Amino acid sequence: MNTLPFEIPGNPATPLFLAPQAGVSEAPFRRLCREFGADVVLTEFVSAEGIVRHNERTARYLRFDDDERPIGVQIFGADPACMAEAAALVTETYAPDFVDINFGCPVKKVVKRNGGSGCLRDLNLVGRIVEAVAGATALPVTTKIRSGFDEATRDPVAIGRVCAEAGARMVTLHPRTRADMYSGSARWEEIAALGGSLEVPVIGNGDVRSGEDARRMRDETGCRGIMIARGSHGAPWLFRQSRAALNGDPVPGEPDIATRFSICMRHADNAAAYEDNPDKAVREFRKHLAWYTKGIPGGRSLRQTLFRIEDAGEVRAVLEDYLRRQGVFTGPGQLYRYDSVGAARDRLEFAGAGR
């Protein structure tokens, strides 16, 4: 009935998902979020056309390590046959724990070709895509939907039902329409309504930015799991805070600046090791640097310095210099390279009052 279609170690009552995010939910960030308590992760959306054409760049988005499991690969496209072929290829080559179909992406380039939320204008097409994909892989197939294409077509329950009837074994709802983009608030009551209408588990998504939000989403919607995207930017510890809030335990406070920088460096080191092209690694990491330094004293000028950096090795020195100027630098080991997950976990514990 409400059972998730894949196993999660420890079988948490309300699993926490790191949302699929283009340019963000890449292996280095996925692994960091797993360390902080994300129970399930997803790749960013990957074009079915790119997969079947064996496009080299596309293939890079599909790579993951076994220690990231359980992991879903998310695919998008508007042609059922192509989506089916892509799902079969992904299954055979990468064997993730599930294949997720994107019916939510609002980006013009994707929607124009009926991909992502573009499909939501034609529920018959949604059903045909899910059915084709489910018929092409032995892995569980799941879908991630928005509430509709626009206000006129807003009907998350109808969309979810079409997905489930066509073979989706879990549905994640971001309760905004494509027309909403990211404006207004996610209508959590639609998550509750969908959960009450489907036999398959419904995962809630949208506007979880604190542990307290996670607890409220579960309590107000009865969702089977919680998916987080923007709240984790520069704050992967949100998963730990969410878990504590869900368990009714004291919620760890925000880490201090030095701890935040240590986490940032752990992420940066991961990213540098993952990317073959070091210049590209530095450029692509800029958004994360912006997020990790958001809201700290003198953050703007620190970001200006960080954004000029071309060599990954300099990031640590700039952050150390900032800590020195703030009078909280304790020595060269402060933002050290983490050798193992265990060592990092020990060092990254942080405590404090609830958020």
Sites of contact with ligand FMN (CB under 6 A): 19-24, 44-45, 74, 102, 104-105, 144, 174, 205-208, 228-231
Q: Which of 192/257 has CB closer to ligand FMN?
A: 192
Torsions phi, psi for 44 (to 5 deg)? -70, 170
Report, in Å, the least distance between residue 336 CB and ligand FMN: 30
Report, in Å, the least distance between residue 216 CB and ligand FMN: 14
DSSP state for residue 334 in the 8-state scheme = T
Q: Which of 21/293 has CB closer to ligand FMN?
A: 21
Catalytic residue from among 33, 82, 105, 223: 105
Contact between residue 42 and residue 285 where contact means Cβ atoms under 8 Å apart: no
Contact between residue 272 and residue 40 where contact means Cβ atoms under 8 Å apart: no
Total residues belonging to the chain: 355
User: How close are the terminal C-alpha atoms of the chain, in Å?
Assistant: 35
In the block, residue with structure tokens 């064997």: 95
Q: Which of 18/134 has CB closer to ligand FMN?
A: 18
What is the maximum alpha-carbon separation in the chain?
Answer: 62
Residue 160 tokens read as 């979810």
Distances (CA, A) of 320 to 152, 257, 332, 349: 53, 11, 8, 20
| Cα 320 from chain centroid (whole Å) | 29
**What percent of the chain is helix, strand and coil (3-state, nearest 5)?**
50, 15, 40
What's the CA gap between 160 and 202, in Å, rounded?
9
To the query of whether residue 105 is one of the catalytic residues in this protein, the response is yes
Kindly report the number of other CB atoms within 10 A of residue 171's CB atom.
26
Report, in Å, the least distance between residue 33 CB and ligand FMN: 12
Q: Which of 82/319 has CB closer to ligand FMN?
A: 82
Report, in Å, the least distance between residue 156 CB and ligand FMN: 13
Q: Which of 229/315 has CB closer to ligand FMN?
A: 229
Report, in Å, the least distance between residue 157 CB and ligand FMN: 18
What's the CA gap between 272 and 277, in Å, rounded?
8
Contact between residue 42 and residue 71 where contact means Cβ atoms under 8 Å apart: yes
Q: Which of 104/127 has CB closer to ligand FMN?
A: 104
Report, in Å, the least distance between residue 45 CB and ligand FMN: 3
**What residues are labeled active site?**
105
